[in-house]
Amino acid sequence: MRVQLGRQLLDRQIVDRDGRLVGKVDDLAFAFDDEGHPYVDHLLTGQGALGQRLGGLIGRFLVALADRFVENPPVRPVPIPFSLVERVDSAVRLRCRNADLPQSPVENWLRRNVIDRIPGAHRASG
Burial of 18 (0-12, 13-18, 19+ CB in 10 A): exposed
Q: What is the CATH number of the domain that holds 99?
A: 2.30.30.240
- Higher per-residue pLDDT: 1 or 108: 108
More confident residue, 69 or 25: 25
Are 2 and 16 a contacting pair, CB within 8 Å?
Answer: no
> Which domain, by its residues, includes 78?
5-123
pTM confidence score: 0.80
Q: Give the integer Cα–Cα distance in Å for 120 and 118.
A: 6
* pLDDT, tens digit, 9 for 90 and up, residues 74-124: 888 999 999 999 999 999 999 999 999 988 888 877 778 887 888 876 665
Q: CA nearest 51: which of 112, 91, 106? A: 106
Cβ-count burial 52-76 (b if 16+ within 10 Å, e if not): bbbeeeeeeebbeebbebbeeeebb
Q: Compare 7 and 33 and report the one with higher pLDDT.
A: 33
How many domains does the chain contain in total? 1
